[in-house]
């Protein structure tokens, strides 16, 4: 099982490029696709889901060009887009059975999968409520369920934890981890903590280009010895933010504690800290 992304670019209009020359080879596991908002993640997801075609390059599913032969991929694809919508007058049971029929599941299989997934996304008690009355987080959970109906070999989820409360977010991360053994899972997000807990590999996009393809462990090594804890006067915060890469900060009675990511200590009083994946991600984007 292999998804090959070969020199893919996407152009919008005469001069705007959403993606530029992205090349990746994905095999089973959880792939975290990280990048700032507006950097091309959703454009790449739509290409991989066969919704749009690249302006240049090609994507291959087990050797088949998905633009020329989309059916083999579509039959094993689960996709949760960032702008997922529902039919407000249908309840969860009706909606999931409708999507199951579109995916070609027989009635017996559909009934079993719908019952299983309503348990997984914790919506059994709300299964007969119209979706129009669901909260944003509940609609997101229905979106996750519909993406899993056909037990996909390729699962693409774009900003899947938006609108989920902390408990639901942990539940979803655990679900992705459980699913990762025998399929390719692509988790596209700008939330580093979602990637940190489940990803086996990481790809970082910035300004439409692939700037890193690595493992979480290797990415962390890039900032080993480069993270500093520094307490500064709050009046100096604006100036220091312009001079240093700051990954976190919090106010204290004696000033502001900042977490600085750079090769050398920003001041003699700064203390070295163990790096986090968010430190490494921000450093990678800032130093592409």
Interior CA angle at 222 toward 218 and 227, to 5°? 130
Strands 154-158, 56-61: pairing is: unpaired
What single-letter DSSP state applies at residue 151?
Answer: -
Domains of the chain: 3-215 (3.40.50.300), 221-286 (no CATH)
Q: Give the model's pLDDT for residue 267.
A: 94
Q: Give the model's pLDDT for residue 253.
A: 84
Which of 193, 238, 195 is closest to 214 using CA atoms?
195
Which of 114, 86, 82, 85 is closest to 101 using CA atoms?
114
The Cα 50–Cα 59 span in angstroms is: 9
φ, ψ of residue 6 in degrees (nearest 5): -120, 100
pLDDT tens profile 117-165: 999 888 999 999 999 999 888 888 899 899 999 999 999 998 887 777 8
What single-letter DSSP state applies at residue 215?
Answer: -
Given a contact cutoff of 8 angstroms between Cβ atoms, the answer to whether 181 and 193 are in contact is no
Enclosing H/E stretch for 4: strand 3-12
For residue 190, pLDDT over 90 is answered with: no
Torsional sign, CA 75, 83, 195, 123: negative
Enclosing H/E stretch for 11: strand 3-12
For residue 213, pLDDT over 80 is answered with: yes
- What percent of the chain stands above pLDDT 90? 72
CA torsion, points 182, 188, 189, 190, in degrees to nearest 10?
120
Rounded to an integer, the average pLDDT of 104-109 is 93
Q: Give the model's pLDDT for residue 259.
A: 96
Three-state DSSP class for 115?
helix
pLDDT tens profile 27-70: 999 999 998 888 899 899 999 999 999 999 999 999 999 999 99
Number of other CB atoms surrounding residue 183 within 10 Å: 17
Rounded to the nearest 5 percent, the helix, strand and coil shares of the chain are 35, 30, 35
Token pair for residue 17?
């490029």
């Amino acid at each position: 099982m292999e998804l090959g992304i070969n020199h893919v670019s996407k152009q919008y209009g005469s001069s705007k490029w959403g993606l530029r020359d992205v090349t990746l080879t994905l095999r089973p596991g959880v792939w975290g696709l990280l990048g700032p908002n507006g950097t091309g993640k959703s454009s790449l997801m739509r290409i991989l889901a066969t919704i749009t075609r690249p302006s240049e390059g090609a994507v291959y599913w087990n050797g088949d060009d998905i633009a020329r032969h989309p059916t083999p991929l579509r039959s094993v694809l689960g996709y949760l887009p960032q702008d997922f919508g529902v039919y407000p007058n249908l309840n969860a049971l009706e909606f999931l059975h409708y999507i199951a029929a579109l995916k070609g599941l027989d009635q017996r299989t559909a009934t079993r999968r719908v019952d299983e997934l309503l348990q997984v996304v914790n919506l059994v008690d709300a299964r007969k409520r119209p979706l129009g009355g669901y909260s944003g987080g509940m609609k997101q959970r229905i979106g996750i369920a519909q993406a899993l109906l056909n037990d996909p070999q390729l699962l693409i989820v774009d900003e899947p934890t938006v609108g989920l409360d902390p408990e639901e977010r942990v539940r979803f991360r655990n679900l992705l981890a459980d699913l990762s053994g025998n399929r390719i899972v692509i988790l596209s997000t700008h939330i580093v903590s979602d990637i940190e807990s489940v990803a086996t590999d990481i790809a970082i996009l910035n300004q439409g280009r692939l700037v890193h393809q690595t493992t979480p462990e290797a990415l962390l090594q890039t900032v080993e010895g480069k993270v500093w804890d520094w307490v500064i006067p709050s009046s100096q915060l604006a100036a220091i933010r312009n001079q240093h890469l700051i990954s976190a900060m919090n106010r204290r009675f004696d000033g502001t504690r900042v977490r600085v990511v750079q090769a050398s200590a920003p001041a003699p009083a700064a203390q070295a800290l163990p790096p986090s994946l968010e430190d490494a991600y921000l450093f990678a984007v800032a130093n592409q």
